């Protein structure tokens, strides 16, 4: 992984992560907290996927389309 990130392409992709991925994690942590209710890799994976799904469904429900002039 370190070798991949050392390339110019790898650095550019990692820079995009902060704009694309991190805000989603921040919003999920803000709403649901940082603590998980389950233990074990499969249970935690399922819980995080469920939180992400709930987050995305909420965004779809609350979405208001832009009005074009």
pLDDT digits (tens, 9 = 90+) for 10-20: 888 888 887 87
Whether residue 54 lies inside any domain: the answer is yes
Number of compact structural domains in the chain: 1
* Per-residue pLDDT reduced to its tens digit, 6-63: 888 888 888 888 787 888 888 888 888 888 888 999 999 999 999 999 999 999 999 8
9: helix, strand or coil: helix
Coil, helix or strand at residue 21: coil
Q: Which domain holds residue 33?
A: 24-63
33 belongs to a structural domain: yes
Q: Judge whether 37 and 43 are in contact, CB under 8 Å.
A: no
């Amino acid at each position: 992984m370190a070798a991949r990130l050392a390339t110019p392409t790898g650095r550019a992709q990692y820079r995009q992560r902060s704009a694309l991925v991190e805000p989603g994690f921040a919003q999920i942590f803000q709403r649901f907290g940082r603590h998980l209710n389950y233990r074990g890799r499969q249970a935690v994976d399922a819980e995080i996927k469920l939180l992400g799904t709930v987050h995305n469904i909420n965004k779809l429900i609350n979405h208001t389309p832009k009005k074009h002039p």
